[in-house]
A and B are shown apart, each in its own frame.
Chain A
Amino acid sequence: MKKVILATAMIAVSGLLAGCAPSGPTDGTDDVTINLWSWRTEDVEKYNSIFDVYEEANPGVTIEFQAYKSTEWAQILTTGLTGSNGPDVVMVQAYGRIQPFIEGGNLVQLDGKIDALDEFDPKALAGSTARDGSDVYGVPFASQILTMFYNKTIFADLGLEEPTTWEEFIDANETVLASGMTPLAVGGRDAWTLPMLHDNVAASTYGGSDFREGILDGSKTFEDPAYIAGIEALSNLEKYMPKDVVGVAYTEAQTLFIAEQAAMFPGGSFEQSFFETQNPDLDLGVFSIPAAPGAVSDETLTVGYADGSFAINAASDKQEAALDLVSWIATAEFGQLFADTVKQPSSVPGVKYNDPILKELTDAYAANGAPYLLLSDFRWETPSGTDIMNVELQNLLLGTTNASEVASKLQEGISTWFTPTK
């Protein structure tokens, strides 16, 4: 009896195995499978639906989209790109995050290989360009735009409108505060959110791209009065943030805003789809934060940065197919699919946005864009600009330091490795 059961089981197992085995190439020899690695575990289905379109247009090509946990991504990518059996195409993060792989010779240089890249915004390409500014190594797929989200219902109930000046912005905060609600949902315990919050608040005040040029050519430093005024502006907003803001987590801040207990949420375009899925009744609006007292001009700027790009593993043995795929990423077809499916600002030029908020954000960035300075230019060495600000901005909100000391610390830390071009 035992033998019969065993035999049956074995037959069943071998049947299963046969069922699992690949059915083999259907025709010809040009079938190719491209392994594509990403850190966007939350978007796997969306990307699969995008790549279905590519697979349909390119018979014989299969794209294996594999996403890894973002906390382990750095290690996994390093292993994948330096060892064998790695991916053919990878999604890589921008600026300082792509640089080690460029320096290590792990990525294929794309200049002159993809004509469409000439049409891209140089700000978007900067995220996947080598630090020395020479070559491009990835096709950028998304830009993120920083903004102030606000709850339109709360604003309407309190008789508020989108502020266009700093005074109006402060008035709006005061009105919300008087109503007993939290004006600004900020989570200062998660230090990484603070440099982002700082540029969101301060870019209009210190002057965005003009200031960047001054810093890079050495005519300005971070101790510039306008830069200090920007940090001061952030410090002045603390009374509108949740009490003991350095003890409040980023997720708690999100919850406050989603639960409509806070009127505004300073964040990035990457928050939008999360807010909408968590509370479909939330009536979202966005505005860019106007220039504060001490500003270089009264122009309101919108901060944006390159989020990541698609790059080719130099060790891949499917270079041709990989280049074809990455070239497609640079087309308007992919850009439109990406904007419609993943609902983030695409880096590809000429994309039309159906979503009103996405449209407003991308229009504002196109009209008056500013860089996320500490990410785009000061993340190449240790201590990076964001490393320093992570700590110093927490100190600022704790009241153990002040705006000009924060600026001095930043200047001092950056000076250990950065020399202006002049």
Chain B
Amino acid sequence: MVHANQVTSTPARRSSTSNRSRKTGRAMSRTAALTFVLPAAVLFGVFTLYPMLAAFGYSFFSWNGTARGDFALLSNYVDLFTKAPYIEQLPRAFGHNILLFVGAIVGQNTIGLGLAYLLHRLKTGRQLFQTLYTMPYLVSAVVVGYLWTLLLSPTFGPLNSFFAAIGLEDLSRPWLGDPSTALWVVILVAGWQWVGFPILLYGAALGGIPAELDEAASIDGATARQSFFAITLPLLVPAITTVSVLAFIYSMEAFALPYSFGGSTGSPAGSTDVLSLMFYRVAFDSGSSNGIGMSSAIATLMFIFIFGIAMLATVVMRRRENRIK
């Protein structure tokens, strides 16, 4: 929903701004407009806005189990940055989220974009491949994680047996049991699962670029390479913004995939720990009586960071897009 909206928003906005003042009143009355917006607004308020504001409020109190205790101002936040184990776990988890994001943005904007471009030029079988590439994206991350743990298992997993069968025993290792490989497995599998999403999005954006531009360029003697970098890529910037911002949001709040690989502790030895897992542990696994206060503080910080960066990135990129136009 968000993506389609963002991809097309610029032209749509341009056409509507000039007419808005005259046309809106006639097209739809204020009451009618509100009636259409209301159901979505109510659902958003009850299921998104209220819990978010509540968690924000909770984070300023110290809790005795499920009962709210004294107002604690920022002490939960201070604890997050000064007290063990948070002081060790928070930077580590945050670093893993950043690595996930870097992996995602690099993979989606190179492999994802490349595949989308190739598929766009493909005359036959385009839809077949689009569907195939998108399939993992349609499967729940928990299922994806579980299947990959089976494939990579050191006891029964086929991957290590495969390496052994082709004489490459040296390559076989406990992929998810070794702290130096486990996070890379999560990053690669996340990339594999998500590659269908940029393919769809870039595919749609490529379809929106008029063929005349390419034709004109080739008449002027531009090579395919030149016209890709001079014409196609600049016109894809809005889509790249969308893909990157969404990759950022999903990477920062990743939960299901890391959880299905490493459980709530980020096995092995915390090497796949991410912020959401840390939140989950503090909220539901710790047995600490101030679990609600501390976990709300983590959730609030996550929200502020994700929301802030996503907004900033959108604004900056949008400005650049406008400059290109």
Contacts and interface: CB of A to CB of B under 8 A. Distances in A.
Interface string B151-163: 0111110000000
Interface string B249-282: 0000000000000110101111000000000011
Given A100-B291, A244-B173, A249 B153 contact: yes
A174 interface: no
A99 B175 CA distance: 38
B176 interface: yes
Interface size class of B (residues with CB under 8 A): 35 or more
Interface string A248-270: 11001001100000000000000
B270 A247 contact: no
A369 interface: no
B84 A416 contact: yes
Contacts of A242: 154-155
Contact of B67 (A97, A103, A246, A391): A103
A416 B268 contact: no
Given A244-B174, A247-B175, A382-B85, A97 B155 contact: no
A29 interface: no
B286 interface: yes
B67 A105 contact: yes
B177 A189 contact: yes
Interface string A73-105: 011001001100000000000011101111111
Given A252-B156, A413-B85, A246 B66 contact: no
Nearest to B269: A394
B269 A99 contact: no
Contacts of B174: 243-244, 246-248
Contacts of A382: 85-86, 282, 286-288, 291, 294
A71 to B, nearest CB: 9
A400 interface: yes
B286 A387 contact: yes
B289 A99 contact: yes
Interface in B264-323: 265, 267-270, 281-289, 291, 294
A244 B175 CA distance: 10
A377 to B, nearest CB: 11
Contacts, number: 136
B83 interface: yes
A400 B269 contact: yes
Interface residues of A, number: 49
B287 A252 contact: no
Chain A interface, >50% SS class: helix
Contact of A381 (B177, B270, B288): B288
Contacts of A379: 287
B162 to A, nearest CB: 16
A380 B290 CA distance: 10
B109 interface: no
A398 B65 contact: no
A388 B265 CA distance: 10
Contacts of A380: 287-289
Contacts of A400: 179, 269
A238 interface: no
Contacts of B285: 74, 387
A190 B176 contact: no
A192 B178 contact: no
Contact of A246 (B84, B156, B177): B177
A189 B291 contact: no
A191 B265 contact: yes
Most buried by A among B149, B268, B270, B284: B268
B64 interface: yes
B288 A248 contact: no
Contacts of A394: 267-269
Contact of A391 (B84, B153, B269): B269
Given A245-B177, A416-B84, A192 B265 contact: yes
A383 B86 CA distance: 9
A78 B85 CA distance: 24
A102 B262 CA distance: 31
A249 B67 contact: no
B153 A248 contact: yes
A283 B66 CA distance: 46
A99 B287 contact: yes
Nearest to B262: A189
Contacts of A256: 155
A144 interface: no
A96 B285 CA distance: 9
26 contacts: A96-B286, A100-B66, A104-B65, A188-B268, A189-B176, A189-B177, A189-B262, A191-B267, A244-B177, A246-B174, A246-B267, A247-B175, A247-B176, A247-B177, A247-B268, A248-B153, A256-B155, A382-B287, A382-B291, A382-B294, A387-B85, A392-B269, A398-B177, A400-B179, A416-B83, A416-B84
Interface of A: 74-75, 78, 81-82, 95-97, 99-106, 188-192, 242-249, 252, 255-256, 379-384, 387-388, 390-392, 394-395, 398, 400, 413, 416
CB-based closest 8 A-B pairs: A247-B177, A96-B287, A247-B174, A100-B65, A104-B66, A103-B65, A244-B174, A104-B65
Given A101-B65, A104-B66, A394-B268, 16 more contacts: A99-B65, A103-B66, A189-B176, A189-B268, A190-B267, A192-B265, A243-B174, A247-B152, A247-B153, A247-B177, A380-B289, A382-B286, A382-B291, A384-B287, A384-B288, A387-B85
